[in-house]
Each structure stands twice: as structure tokens, then as C-alpha cells.
Structure 1
Amino acid sequence: MNASHLNDSTPLCYSINSPPFQYHPTIASAYFSSIFSVLGLTSNLVAFLVLLQSYKRVKTRSRSFFLVFLGGLVVTDFLGLLVTGSIVVSFHVTHFNWRQLDPNCHFCNFMGMSMVFYGLCPLLLGAAMAIERFSGINCPFSRSQAMPRKRTVIMVLLVWMIAGLIALLPIIGVGSYHMQMPGSWCFFNISSIGNDKIFSLVFSLVGLMCLAVSFMLNTVSVVTLIRVCCGPGGTQRRRDHEVEMMVQLILIMVIASVCWCPLVVTVYSADKNLLFNIRMATCNQILDPWIYIMCQWSKLRRVHWVQYVVSSLLSVGCDRLAPQSRSPEPLQSHQGFSCLFLLPQWS
């Protein structure tokens, strides 16, 4: 039921869509939401254990910094799926009435804040990791001397604080959280007028800025690594762990771009495919942990034939990039990468 003639006493979050709706969730909706949430939670839990074991074995400062960021990303994705998934699954199982359960919109506002907070955190963390890798690759000496490990933790906490402050804006009047169809979730009101438009633009611009920063800095970092690997003295300046981290960061950026662009690009235009775009964005929380899991599996399995094929192809690429300066010895590494090796392996 679309509440178009509600009186002034109607809480703000139900002023556009007010339950009960003329919609009957099917059993498939409950199964889909449950499987989606369980898969995401399990994936992030496994990824967190993988990162924890990796952190215990880490020997380089740059990799320890990067693992702290990855740990913050995994924790954020896990909590986001736990909070929002629990609410959505509970709705599909019990079919509770939001107006009766939450007459003052506190629960709806909490879910709306959670959607914004846990949505922006992966994008902000991706940009922070791109900045950290850009600094580590292009200014390694100054960074290693000036950046203690605890500063990385502070940067993760700062990202969470920024996302939290943005999520609080509708509570203080810049935008507003509203019940969304089919009645299982709340999100900020996407409108082209007033404060709702301002918040929609803030959300969209922050997301697009994070993706743009990640793309630009990661591109520069990759170009730098190619020059280091394939330029003069490349065999003496082995930076296998740098390449490994960049591969993971590039994959994180690509997944975030694919999952979030439909939402952050169209959110200010009141796109009617909001539910689909939200589901696409949520896929980011499920796909991210598989980057770390698959990388770890590739290291444990030691896929030598894949290494040989990829190493051969990339060595040819290095020959073309620096035919005069390449060392006469083949660019091979027993425990790492060959030039720009895409399948990392730990000893």
C-alpha cells in the first residue's frame, strides 16, 4: 500500500511507503536471502582466518600494513552482512509489520545507517589501500621510516569514522531514511528535491571519488612496478611481494567498480532499479573475501604448470618493454613472481 494520504502524525520513514504492503514474500525470497547471507558470512570468516595466519608469518612491513587494511575490509564486510542480512532474513521468515515493531522509526533508521555505513566502508578502504600502496611503491624509504604499524590501524579507524559521519547525516536532517519496497529494508530517500537530493549527491560523489582515486593511483603503481621489474637492474630489484599485493588490490578495485557503479552512478537520478543495484553492491561483500582465499589456495597448491605458462608470457612482455637492458639471465623467481607474475606464491 502506497501511503499517499497519510496524516501528519505518520513517522517520516513511512511517509512514502507505509506497511503493510500488497506484497507477499515467497519462500524463495527467504531461501535466497538466507543463502546469500550465509555464503557471505562464511566466506568472510574463512578469509579472516587466512589473513590472520598470513599476518603471523609476515616478514615485511609493507605486507603487514596491507594485511591490516585487508583485515579491516573483511571485518567490515562480515559485520555488514551480519547486521543487514539478519534483518532481511527475519522479515522474510516472520513477515513482521514494521509499523507495529518500529512505530518511531528507530529500527528503520538503524538499518538505513547500516546500509550506508557498510556500503561506503569498502569503497573508502579501497581508496585508502590504493594510497598506501602508491606511497609504499613510489616512496618506500621515507614511508618505511615515517609510518609505524599503528598508523595503519588509525587509518582504518578513520575510514570507519568518515563512513559513520556520512551515515549520520540523515539523522540530523540532511536527507532521510525511508522504508523501501518490498518492505524488508530501509535506505535513504532517493529524491531530486531538498535535502534528500543533497544526501544522494554526497553518497554518489563519495563513492565515485573513491573509485576514481583507486583507479588513478593503482594505475600509477602498476606502471611503476612494471618499470622496476622490466627496466635496468630488474633482476636485482625483486619486489615480488609488491606485485602480489597490487594484484589483490587491482582485483578488489575491479570488483568494487563492477558492483558499485550501477548504484553510485544512478542514485541521484532516482533510478527505479534501486533494489537490483543494492543487490549488486552487496555482492561486493561476498566476492571480496574470495580474492584472499583463492590467492592462498594458489600458494598452497603451488600450480607449477600455470606458473610456467604465465611466467613465459610475461617474460616475453618484458623483452619487448626493455630489450636492451634486460639481464641475460632469465627473469625467474623460485619463491615469487616472474616479472609481473599474476599468481602469487608464498614459501
Structure 2
Amino acid sequence: MNASVLPLTNNTPLCYTKNSPPFNYTMPIASAYYSSIFMMLGITSNLIAFIVLVRSFQRTQSRSRSFFLIFLGGLVFTDLMGLLVTGTIVVSFHVTHFNWRNLDPNCHFCNFMGMSMVFYGLCPLLLGATMAVERFIGINRPFTRASSATKSRTISILLLVWFIAGCIALLPLTGVGAYHLQMPGSWCFLNISSKGNDLVFSLIFSLTGLICIAVSFLLNTISVVTLIKVCCGQDRCQRRRDHEVEMMVQLILIMVIGSSCWCPLLIFIAKTVLSGGPLQVRYLLLWLRFATGNQILDPWVYILFRRAVLKRIYPRLDWSRGSIMTLYPSLRDTVRRFTRSSIASTVASNETEEVGKLNGTPPSTLKPPPPSP
């Protein structure tokens, strides 16, 4: 990779002090083909998912599911807008090869793209953690959640998540960090450096994302364990849990995809600024491609992993009954075997106590009759 950098003066805008156009580079991973393919796949996937979500929201009768669909719709909408905004800029550069300094002499356009990269990057992670909290409360504290959850409050929480991500993205405009033009000249991002405020902002960005992933992993694990206990419990009158299992499966897949796509980039940023070593542009672009994959894979979680789709894939399974136990007959028989023995012993002890009370004899002195020969 070769870059011809114009001589910098004291009047050089901040976003061009690190890299200044024009650039002469040969890097296959930064070609127009990658950017165009990623953008078209992502936009198509998110549009399909958004249409499916709107139809599901109109048909759903479950309050908890409708709240989950609001968060999921916000996630899909955020991914779609992120691809539209950032992808359009990157593809336009590869097609026209415009000069950033001529087009944007005051760094306004570069700052806008940098803020978009940070905002649309943090939103999926923050929303993933928010959905994990919502499912944790819905499964472990259902009565508390039922008394306080409304659609307006759910929308307010979604707007709050966007507001937090926006505040973090605006920090460089207040002097905490800065947005710089990045190699190969097609995008702007935070300045990954171990000096001063750049170090602070880089750590804020990376640690916020890593904390969101850790919170999602912890709360989703607890929710899954609780849901398994409820589905496999002894209560015959338990309410339907299939829709909650479906939501947890989708949420876990979103968490796995987000962790796999974003952890390499977040760890790379934190490691680079803490070690004080030089920025390795090739790895930065590679991990950025991984992070972009999150916006493409997220919508397919809801498109594919729905009961309506699974019914068509596995039509032989009994989907009409109300319990997840119908999907696992061996597990259901095992639970019945253990619960049947425990129920029988409980009934026998209760009958013994009743007989003791009628005869005026303490239950502990009663002995079972000897077996008949």
C-alpha cells in the first residue's frame, strides 16, 4: 500500500492530519466489489426482515412478544440505515474517486461519516444488551414487568438507546477524541491512537461494546436456565412458553452473531491503544468487514428462526400443542417419570397424615400395613 500525502501545514483540517488525499493504493479487501456486495446484501436482508416484522407485529396477541418485536424492529431499522448511510459514501468513493479535501475542506462530511460509523456500530450492541435485560425481567420477574411495561415505555427505551449511542458518537465534537480519514481513503473513523483524548475515546468505544456483549451473555444465560426450569417443571397449569422460547432462541443467535462480528474489532482497538504500537491498517479493514457482517446476518435470524418457518421445515413435529416439551419426547417422558413418582409419594404422605388426624395418632407413629402374602 502506497500513499502520497500532501505536505501538511498549520492550516490543515484535523481530519486530514493523519492521512491526506490523494491516495494510491492496491488493497483487494477495500475494493468496490466488497463494498457493493456487502451493501446490497445487507439492505435486501434488512428490508425483508422489516416487512416480516411489521406483519408479525400486526398479528401478534402477546404483549411480551409485541415489546420484543419493537426492539427487534429498532435493531433492523438501525442496521438498514447504517448500511444506507455509510455504504453509500464508501461505494461513491470507489466509483468516483473523489478528493476528500476538495469536497470537504472543513471536515464536516468526514465528521458526519465518523459519527455514523460509531453510532450505527454501537446501536446493535446496546440494543442487544437492552433486549437481554427485557427478556431477563420478563422471564424471571413476569409480574413486575407486566405491571410496568407498555408500548410507549418500550419505544421510550428504544429512543433512549439511540440517544446514548448518539451522545457517544458526538464526543469528538466536544474535544474527546477526533474523527480522521482512514486508509485507503474511503471512510472516516475515530483516531485509534494511544495519545491523549484519542486514547480515552477509543477505550470508551471499545469498552462500551465489550460491556454490552458481556451483559448480554450473562443475562441470556440466566434467562435460558430459568426458561428450561419452567418448561420442564412439574406445574401442569403453566402457561404457554413456546413464544418465549422462540424469542430466546432469536436473542441468543443475535448475541452470538454480534459477539463474533464485533469482538475482533473492539479487542483490536483496545489492544492497539493500550500497547501504544502502530496501527495495522490491514487488520483494521479485516475486522471492519467482520463487523459489517453483523448488519447482514442479524435480519436473517428473525427471517429464518420463526415457528412459521420451522413448521414448513419440520412438518412432522407436533406444533399444535402448547408446550416446548412436545419437541423433545424423550425429555418429556423423563420428566413425567420423575414427577409421577414424586406426586405419588406426596399423595401417600398426605393420606397418612389425614388418617392420623382422624384417629388422634401422630403421623410419625403410624406405620404402613405389612404387605399381604
TM bucket by the smaller chain?
0.7 to 0.9
Bigger drift between 33-42 and 79-88 goes to 33-42
Report if the CA contact (8 A) 2:19-2:182 is conserved.
Answer: yes
Query: Which one-letter code corresponds to 1:274 in the other structure?
Result: L
Q: Is the 8 A contact 2:29 2:285 kept in 1?
A: no
Per the TM alignment, residue 274 of structure 1 is displaced from its structure 2 partner at its CA by 0.9
Alignment of 1:1-347 (within 5 A): 1=3, 3=5, 6-23=8-25, 29-233=31-235, 236-270=238-272, 272=280, 273-296=283-306, 298-299=309-310, 301=312, 303-305=314-316, 314-317=328-331, 324-325=338-339
Give me the whole-angstrom Cα distance separating, in 2, the residues matched to 1:321 and 1:300: 25
Dislocated runs of 4+, deviation >6 Å? 25-28, 310-313
Q: Secondary structure of 2:180's match? A: strand
Distance in 2, Cα, partners of 1:327 & 1:99: 79
Cα distance in structure 1, aligned partners of 2:302 and 2:168: 29
Task: Note the C-alpha offset of 1:100.
Answer: 0.7
State TM-score, norm by structure 1.
0.88
Which shifted more, 27-36 or 93-102?
A: 27-36
Runs of at least 5 residues in structure 1 that lack an aligned partner in the other structure = 329-347
CA change 1:234–1:316 in 2 (3 A) is farther
C-alpha distance after superposition, 1:35-91 (max 9, x if no partner): 210110010000000000000000010000000000000000000000000000000
Tell me if structure 2 keeps the 8 A contact 1:191–1:268: no
Give distance in 2, aligned partners of 1:28 and 1:37: 13
* TM-score relative to the length of structure 2: 0.82
- Local SS of the residue matching 1:324: helix
Any idea what SS the aligned residue of 1:137 has? helix
In the comparison of the two structures, how many residue pairs are matched? 327
| Matched residue type, 2:339 | S
Instruction: Give aligned-pair identity as a percent.
Output: 64
- Partner Cα separation in structure 2 for residue 106 and residue 26 of structure 1: 28
CA distance in 2, matches of 1:248, 1:21: 43
1:196–1:124 Cα change, 3 Å: same
The answer for the alignment partner of 1:342 in structure 2 is none
> Deviations for 1:281-336, whole angstroms, at most 9, x for unmatched residues?
1100000000111124624625224779x9788443466678512699xxxxxxxx
User: Is the alpha carbon distance of 1:269 and 1:326 closer, same or farther for their aligned partners in structure 2, counting shifts above 3 Å?
Assistant: farther
Distance between the aligned counterparts of 2:341 and 2:205, measured in 1?
50
Q: Does structure 2 retain, via aligned residues, the 8 Å contact 1:55–1:64? A: yes
**Residue range with higher mean Cα deviation, 280-289 or 5-14:** 5-14
